[in-house]
Amino acid sequence: MKSLCLSIVMLLPVAAWGADLCAGATSGATITGVSYADGIVTASGTWRVGENAAGALVEYRIQSDRQSAETRSGTSGSWEVAFPYTACDRNTFRVYVFPTFKKGDILVHCTENGQSAAQSFMISCQPTAELGPCEWECSEGPPARCSGVCAATARGGRGGLAGLQGINGEGFQAVEASAEGRWTLTVTCSPGDQVSFKVRDRSGLGAFSNVAQWPCGKN
- pLDDT, tens only, 78-118: 999 999 987 877 899 999 999 999 888 888 999 999 999 99
106: number of Cβ within 10 Å: 11
Tens of pLDDT, residues 109-137: 999 999 999 999 988 778 899 999 999 99
What end-to-end distance do the CA atoms of the chain give, in Å?
90
pTM for the whole structure: 0.59
Return the CATH fold of 128-215: Immunoglobulin-like (2.60.40)
> Residue 151 and residue 9: Cα distance in Å, rounded?
76
Q: Which CATH class is domain 21-123?
A: mainly beta
Which ranges in the chain belong to alpha helices (H)? 2-22
208: number of Cβ within 10 Å: 14
Residues forming CATH 2.60.40.10 domain(s) in the chain: 21-123, 128-215
